[in-house]
Amino acid sequence: MKYMSIMKRWLLNVASIVLVILIVVSVSLFMIIRNYYYGAAKMTVEAMTSEEISSIFNMYGASTSGFENAAREYCENFSSGDTMAVWVIDKNARVIVTSSGFAVSDDVEISEYADAKESPGGSAIWTGRLPSGEKIMANTCIFRYENGRFGGAIRYMVSLDAIDRQLVNLAFMILAVAVLMFAVLLLSGMAFIRSIVNPVKEIGETAKKIAGGDLGASIDHYPYNDEIGELCATINDMADKLSESDKMKNDFISTISHELRTPLTAIKGWGETLQQIGDSDPAMTKRGMDIIISESTRLNGMVEDLLDFSRISSGRMIYNTERIDFLAELDDVAYSFKDRAYRNGIELAYNAPAIPAPGNADPSRIKQVFINILDNAIKYTEEGGTITISAAIEDKKKLVVVFEDSGAGIAPEDLPHIKEKFYKANNTVRGSGIGLAVCDEIVKYHGGTMDIDSVLGEGTKVTVTLPLEIAVKQEKHEKEESENE
């Protein structure tokens, strides 16, 4: 679509419509006032009817002298002489007497005279210019004698020049007010639009800077708390989050490089040592081999964690779901950790009911969750500490597994973040900071929850809740029922 600025759109869509409305209103107003003035002039010239005039002239009789006397007397006694002029016209359309006293030349044409004679009311109105150039409105009323003979007419005239002058002044006033109103609308509208467009431009510039990698860019001086203010706050927040995530990424790269280097150094070191000593020291060879194997296993675990994390992030994690017994998986993991706990001088207690806990899940992923939690418990518990694993079925619907250790614990400020990717509360212990993030995703995928409570220096409690098959079936059944309703 063609680019069109907001200002241009506003001018086209709003200002132009307002301009049209203003023009229509101004013209209508002018026409109303003009009609009012012309109406008043018309009312003035229609002061007397044909019958009234007839009755006056009848009083003087139908003779020529009677007509002339009546005409003179009528003009002399005419009371509205200051606003209106009167001509008395004889039956041959000649002006006999005028209220001003000045004679009117015979060739002055009484344009409406013929119309008045023919009209049923005996009068006709004409608007036009006199030979002198003056614009007038004239009303000619004919009169007849009692015997029905046509006697002549009286022409009432008002000047329209003064009215027209007033109307011109009025038109200028209306035009000035309309122009003023339009100018005010234009200026205030443009100022308002500029107050929106300029910050939007600034937001665009800042967003471009952020996109270009300047994560410190922010919009600081938008003064109002409105939709644009909210947008600015969101952009600033986005920049903060991006910069946080950038920092996290850098931290992660440095942590992970460090984590990878440690086992690699051990493997390389022991490889070189074994190469040097050859077959001379079988005990040393065995020890070296053990370390190489355990460090390779650790490396492998770390790479697997990273791959899982990347699969989860891109939504490519594959779950091979089947009907399993959660407690059987927990048994396996608990027993495989007994030895390691023992070697670390940690007491591992395992209490689980000997009943089946069926569920639909990926057994290796569920095991991965248990292994990760127990691995952390061992990593963060000193020699002499205890780890307790207990499991119970609640409401026949869910399995609740609690892993409790008496280890280092987690500081309250770190606790809300430890399930986040790359977050490490303790940098002195080896780890990538993604184990719990992956566990949380796996548990969530299976419809469960993972909660962590901890007291720094006292220990940590991780509670994993997983829905059992009955609960899932029941939920499905309820869903189907509600869909059928």
Residues interacting with ligand ADP, by CB under 6 A?
372, 376-377, 380, 405, 407-410, 418, 423-426, 431-437, 460
- 68 burial (CB, 10 Å; 0-12 / 13-18 / 19+) is middle
Q: Is 377 or 450 the residue whose CB approaches ligand ADP more closely?
A: 377
In angstroms, give the least distance from the CB of 440 to ligand ADP: 9
Secondary structure of residue 483 in the 3-state scheme: helix
DSSP H helical ranges for 46-83: 50-58, 64-76
- To the nearest whole angstrom, how small is the minimum distance from the Cβ of residue 204 to ligand ADP? 39
How deeply is 398 buried, as exposed, middle or buried, from its count of CB atoms within 10 A (0-12, 13-18, 19+)? buried
CB of 329 to ligand ADP, least distance (A): 19
Q: Which is nearer to ligand ADP, 104 or 377 (CB)?
A: 377
Nearest to ligand ADP by Cβ — which residue?
431
Beta bridge partners of 391: 401
Q: Which is nearer to ligand ADP, 393 or 464 (CB)?
A: 464
Q: Cβ of residue 316: shortest distance to ligand ADP, in angstroms?
A: 20
> SS3 helix, strand, coil % of the chain, rounded to 5?
55, 15, 30
Nearest to 239 by CA among 220, 216, 219: 216
| Residues 198/42, Cβ–Cβ less than 8 Å | no
> In this complex, which beta carbon is closest to ligand ADP, that of residue 152 or of residue 409?
409
Rounded Cα distance, 84 and 60, in Å: 24
Q: Least separation, in Å, of the C-beta of 422 and ligand ADP?
A: 8
Minimum CB–partner distance for residue 258 and ligand ADP (Å)? 12
Query: Quick check: 116 and 55 in contact, CB under 8 A?
Result: no
- Cβ-contact 61, 216 below 8 angstroms: no
Candidates 22, 354, 387, 300; CA nearest to 178 is 22
- Smallest gap from residue 433 Cβ to ligand ADP (A): 4
Name the minimum Å distance from CB 344 to ligand ADP: 13
How near is the Cβ of 426 to ligand ADP at its closest, in Å? 4
Query: Under a CB-based contact definition with an 8 Å cutoff, are residues 438 and 420 in contact?
Result: no
Q: What is the DSSP string of 17-35?
A: HHHHHHHHHHHHHHHHHHH
Compare residues 124 and 418 and give the one whose CB is closer to ligand ADP: 418
Return the number of the residue (77 or 300) whose C-beta is nearest ligand ADP: 300
Select 230 or 304, whichever has its Cβ closest to ligand ADP.
Answer: 304
The residue among 122 and 409 lying less far from ligand ADP, judged by its C-beta, is 409
Neighbours of 96 (CB within 10 A): 17
Tell me the three state secondary structure of residue 445.
Answer: helix
How many angstroms separate the most distant Cα atoms in the chain? 168
Q: Based on CB atoms, which residue is closest to ligand ADP, 366 or 434?
A: 434
